[in-house]
Structure 1
Amino acid sequence: MTEVRITHIGGPTTLIEAAGWRLLTDPTFDPPGRRYSFGWGTSSRKTAGPAVDAAELPPLDAVLLTHDHHADNLDTAGRSLLPTADLVLTTPTGARRLGGNAHGLAPWTTRRLEHPGRPTIEITATPARHGPPFSRPIVGDVTGFALRWEGQRHGALWISGDTVLYDGVREVGRRLDVGTAVLHLGGVRFPVTGPLRYTLTTPRAVDLCRVLRPDTVLPVHYEGWSHFHEGRRTVEAELAKAPADIRTRFRWLPVGSAAQIQV
């Protein structure tokens, strides 16, 4: 059985230490207080800073960047961190914008990380849609990531990225055996677009888990920004209505300290 250390730094940002590899997701290290424009009349204010300073991070083998064009997934300090990693994996459009060490993965394509003395990690891009149908031209491309390596007992470690529930993420459950799911929650919405949602709500996350059947679900990206409408208290209240066999799979990561996850 493989043991993974995951440190939730805040928002979508996690440090994943697995089988000798160090991977960082969606770097956000700016202090709180600033308001960021997301385009098309939408914006959000950062309300909480990172629990770990960027200077405290170990050397990074790779950054897994679900998308580069929204500051709640890549802010100014996070962007300055990218060149320090050996590799940045993101969407093809994001890789073209970033250049340098960024490599784009289209959905269901794979990049292998190899190093002497460590198991090879296969990182597969998975579909994500950051809003309602036909919103992609406005909200841009997003990706999830599935991580697999020799020795896993419970299936892939899957990072959803910012997505709603749609056929693309249901396909993950059909094509992959997911052991641990890192789900971006928060039920994002904006005044200018009314009730439309741009990330998973808790009920939709429960529906997704009926398809995935993961052993462990790790919520992230649910607090720390003003555009989130489902923080931890709301998520917990909604989970209380879910069937016990799904509710008990959810595990809250402590912010700022490493948690041991069996994969």
Structure 2
Amino acid sequence: MQRIFIDPENDRPATRDLPSGVTMPGDLPPPKEVKFHPSEYGSEDASIFFVGTATTIIEWAGIRIMTDPNFLHAGDHVHLGPGVSSTRRTNPAVDLHNLPRIDLVLLSHYHGDHFDQKVETSLRRDLPIITTPHAQSHLTNKDADSFTNVSALDPFTSVMVEVKGTAGPKRRRLRVTAMPGKHVPSHSAVESLNELVNAIPPTNGWMLELGVGDADDATDFVYGYRIYITGDTLMVDELKEIPKRYANKRIDLMLAHLGGTMVPSPALAPLALMVTMDAKQGVQMIRLIQADLTIPIHYDDYEVFASPLDDFKKEVEKAGLEGKVLYLDRGDRFGFTVREA
């Protein structure tokens, strides 16, 4: 298993180009609202801050993990493939240069609404990033301006993230395992064409496990909280392997990328291609994964999103799954508890 190291005591900005007079804050901005799992209220020691699109910041034991950094503002444009662009409708809950220290980035794929042009220019080059082999090749092939700490994972391979400054039999550790994902339908003419033209990049989901292990044993790990992040995927057969591999293993939380993204544009339906789950597929995913709780993200930030959050809420109610879903707005925080090993 690969190992990478993060150092929460290295108090450096996430970006390398802080504007003159701007100082890195010590923390995220106060949340608009804090929400909890009903059974854990009062014991939480970790949190997820929803920035917008698929960007979240997960905090636990002094560690900050950022997913799919996208910090464009309303009216900004992203490139999503040959001849395809989209305009952002919303603003992020925190600006890129107002981020506190970030220790690790999980990047599901190399797409402008997940790793925008400002992020690519600004992020510190030695910031640890875990991503797909495709994204790694782009991030590390920039002549003198490449990212220098990028790890690539294929589906169902893992990396152990060691936290510097912790030791002993209960050293804090993160285990990140890549999960399958498909932006285009499997075994289809569209998939074959995409393999030729590389218009839509390959994507991963993630199983992020927060836990501890013996500092003297690189393989020792006991999880305390397990988060499945779907990444941009459709409901495809490859996902059925996840509940098989995690049978009898609790998945505490699922962050579900929704939106029913249509390319090149929802206005061209039925000729447009759906490349992320819509409301109905989101409910199918809840039933497949059986996570204790699901939080939908990536649902209304760009013009290419065709399945709004209200559609998902209706499908959840129709399925009688209201107790399994929690909704966050940009700027909200979800508090949860990492169990002691």
Distance 2:98 2:76 in 1: 23
Aligned to 1:36: 78
Distance 1:128 1:86 in 2: 25
Contact 2:174–2:209 (CA<8 Å) still a contact in 1?
yes
Alpha-carbon deviation of 1:79?
1.6
Aligned to 2:253: 180
Aligned to 1:141: 202
- The size of the alignment, in residue pairs, is 259
4+ residue runs over 3 A deviation: none
State the secondary structure of the residue aligned to 1:83: coil
Does the C-alpha gap of structure 1 residues 235 and 166 become closer, same or farther in structure 2, counting only changes over 3 Å?
A: same
2:188 is aligned with 1:111: no
Distance 1:218 1:170 in 2: 20
Aligned to 1:54: 96
Distance 1:79 1:173 in 2: 34
State the secondary structure of the residue aligned to 2:51: strand
Contact 2:181–2:232 (CA<8 Å) still a contact in 1?
yes
Aligned to 1:26: 68
Does the C-alpha gap of structure 1 residues 96 and 14 become closer, same or farther in structure 2, counting only changes over 3 Å?
A: same
Structure 2 stretches lacking a partner, 5+ long:
1-42, 141-147, 212-221
Does the C-alpha gap of structure 1 residues 54 and 85 become closer, same or farther in structure 2, counting only changes over 3 Å?
A: farther
Alpha-carbon deviation of 1:195?
5.2
Contact 2:57–2:64 (CA<8 Å) still a contact in 1?
yes
Alpha-carbon deviation of 1:43?
2.2
Which stretch shows the higher mean deviation, 118-127 or 250-259? 250-259
2:330 is aligned with 1:255: yes
* Counterpart amino acid of residue 135 in structure 2: G
Alpha-carbon deviation of 1:161?
0.4
Does the C-alpha gap of structure 1 residues 227 and 169 become closer, same or farther in structure 2, counting only changes over 3 Å?
A: same
Alpha-carbon deviation of 1:17?
0.6
Report the structure number with the largest CA radius of gyration.
2
- Note the aligned Cα RMSD (angstroms): 2.0
Distance 1:2 1:212 in 2: 23
Which stretch shows the higher mean deviation, 225-234 or 75-84? 75-84
Contact 1:142–1:161 (CA<8 Å) still a contact in 2?
yes
Structure 1 stretches lacking a partner, 5+ long:
none
Distance 1:55 1:259 in 2: 23
Alpha-carbon deviation of 1:124?
0.6
Alpha-carbon deviation of 1:47?
1.1
Contact 1:170–1:208 (CA<8 Å) still a contact in 2?
no
Distance 2:283 2:316 in 1: 8
Pick from 73, 76, 94: which aligns with 2:117?
A: 76
Distance 1:121 1:81 in 2: 26
Distance 2:89 2:128 in 1: 29
Distance 2:128 2:285 in 1: 30
Alpha-carbon deviation of 1:85?
6.1
2:227 is aligned with 1:227: no
2:221 is aligned with 1:160: no
Aligned to 1:194: 271
Aligned to 1:211: 288
Pick from 4, 7, 14: which aligns with 2:56?
A: 14
Pick from 94, 102, 105: which aligns with 2:150?
A: 102
* Counterpart amino acid of residue 309 in structure 2: R
State the secondary structure of the residue aligned to 1:124: strand
Alpha-carbon deviation of 1:196?
3.1
State the secondary structure of the residue aligned to 1:254: coil
Contact 1:63–1:82 (CA<8 Å) still a contact in 2?
no
Contact 1:132–1:196 (CA<8 Å) still a contact in 2?
no
